[in-house]
Amino acid sequence: MRDARELGGAWRRFQRHETAAPSPDLAGYIEHYWTVYWDYAEPYRQLITALPRVHLTISSQAGATVRGVTRGHRHQTLTGTGRVFGVAFRPGAFRPVLGAPVSGLTDRVTTAAAIFGVEPPECPEVASIEEFLRPRLPEPDAASRAAIEAVALIAARPGLTRVDRLAGELGSPMRALQRLFAEHVGASPKWVLRRYRVHEVARRLEQGGEIDWALLAADLGYADQAHFVRDCTRMLGEPPTRFAARY
């Protein structure tokens, strides 16, 4: 049997989520800040699915860590009361900070001190984390800006489904595009295209109403519903109808 706390939006009784926009001078690097608070008397197995972002997270339980792009899904057990503060970097923007290919962080977690050379504030708010980050964010280079723009195009166009079409719209050779994504995004263009298509499922569920799954699969460029279900299951950890029950 499924945990009733994960069904029908019941998680809202146990968790509170907040987001905040970065200051204008940091908006080229940071997509948003996020904070999650929870209160569980019994352990809860949280499903986490992520877009191709690098995250700096700071919590009382795990300390300060940097997590690279996670290809697929993962679970985090939440228990008692807790808080975690996160910085979601724009896809493509972390390469100048890391000073190395972002693919080296893919599916990995490391300490924040290993990346920044010093620990960030223990219980940060937006003002204190921005004060920490400002002197540690080098100027984005042309390749980083190109990667940011490429992922932004994918995010804005759910119907863009093929790498060759993406390369054509960007005016980039295929091999150069693949190198750009490995270096600056941490995942292949094909994976990023698929991940944003699957993200459209969550976006539509958040809007409410019934979903015609066959029609949604067609809207997102899938040849048939079976391919759509396979992609969702691979990235979300469960078929789309089971995932929808969470809403």
Do residues 127 and 9 share a domain? yes
Do residues 8 and 115 share a domain? yes
Confidence tier at 61 by pLDDT (50, 70, 90): confident
**Average per-residue pLDDT in the chain?**
94
The CATH number of the domain holding residue 193 is 1.10.10.60
Q: Compute the distance between CA of residue 200 and CA of residue 149 in angstroms, rounded to an integer.
A: 19
Domain boundary among 114, 136, 158: 136
pLDDT in tens, 171-215: 999 999 999 999 999 999 999 999 999 998 888 888 887 899 999
pLDDT in tens, 19-57: 999 999 999 999 999 999 999 999 999 999 989 999 999
Do residues 131 and 150 share a domain? no
Do residues 233 and 148 share a domain? yes
**Per-residue DSSP letters for 234-245?**
HHHSS-HHHHHT
- Name the CA dihedral angle for 142, 143, 149, 150, rounded to a multiple of 10 degrees: 160
Q: What is the domain extent for residue 232?
A: 142-244
Q: What is the count of structural domains for the chain?
A: 2
Do residues 11 and 116 share a domain? yes
Do residues 125 and 12 share a domain? yes
Domain boundary among 105, 136, 167: 136
> HEC states along 74-108?
EEEEEEEEEEEEEEEECCCCCHHHHCCCHHHHCCC
Q: Residue 124: pLDDT above 80? A: yes
